[in-house]
């Protein structure tokens, strides 16, 4: 079965959003890698998947995360699939946080289809808006970045994002 994920970067304007299709059997650590590729992040920081309120609920994190950096209940992202994760979340929504310094929160909504795998997955379906650069201070830093630089925040190179995804996953998951 396939899941279509709508990912929206929270607290930034203009809108930064991606839609991607993945197999429900994908592990959360692989889903993190997919998110990095389609958003344009550089995979230079820690991450977490949150079932409830950010920093106040159980999270799934990478196995190499230093325990002392985060408080709360944490489980390993390498030990759960998206299907297992979604079985714990009746709302079909969760938060993916990347970079605990900049706190890039991504609101993720999941729609599950009964379609069989007939193409190469993961597959980027659509992309809106340029992702902020790394290490600029989070959403408020992005506002300052846009004021100081002549970049079009609405411009996104979908072909380049798909190419990154294809290089990371040259075969179907």
**Per residue in 48-60, pLDDT tens?**
998 877 766 667 7
Contacts of 125 (CB under 8 A, 6+ apart): 4, 19, 20, 21
Structural domains in the chain (count): 1
What is the span of the domain harbouring residue 116? 2-168
CA nearest 127: which of 12, 42, 15, 13? Answer: 15
Q: How confident is the model at residue 161 (pLDDT cuts 50, 70, 90)?
A: very high
117 is a domain residue: yes
For residue 128, what is the domain's CATH number? 3.10.290.30
173 is a domain residue: no
42 is a domain residue: yes
pLDDT, mean over the chain: 88
Alpha helix stretches (DSSP H) within 55-137? 82-87
Are the C-beta atoms of 34 and 22 separated by less than 8 Å?
Answer: yes
38 is a domain residue: yes
**Per residue in 93-142, pLDDT tens?**
999 999 999 999 999 999 998 877 777 899 999 999 999 999 999 999 99
Alpha helix stretches (DSSP H) within 54-118? 82-87
Q: What is the pTM of this model?
A: 0.90
50 is a domain residue: yes
Question: Strand locations in 10-146, DSSP E?
Answer: 17-23, 47-50, 59-61, 74-76, 93-98, 104-113, 123-128
């Amino acid at each position: 079965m396939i899941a279509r994920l709508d990912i929206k970067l929270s607290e930034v304007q203009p809108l930064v959003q991606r839609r991607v299709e993945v197999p429900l059997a994908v592990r959360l650590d692989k889903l993190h890698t997919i998110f990095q590729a389609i958003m344009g992040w550089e995979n230079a920081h820690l991450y977490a998947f949150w079932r409830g309120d950010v920093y106040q609920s159980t999270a799934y994190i990478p196995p190499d995360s230093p325990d002392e950096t985060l408080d709360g209940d944490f489980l390993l992202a390498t030990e759960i699939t998206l299907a297992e994760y979604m079985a714990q979340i009746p709302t079909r929504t969760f938060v993916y946080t990347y970079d605990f310094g900049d706190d890039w929160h991504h609101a993720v909504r999941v729609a599950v289809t009964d379609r069989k795998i007939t193409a190469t997955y993961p597959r980027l379906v659509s992309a809106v808006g340029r992702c902020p650069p790394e290490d600029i201070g989070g959403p408020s830093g992005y506002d300052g970045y846009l004021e100081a630089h002549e970049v079009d925040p609405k411009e996104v190179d979908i072909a380049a994002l798909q190419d990154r995804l294809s290089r990371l996953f040259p075969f179907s998951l």
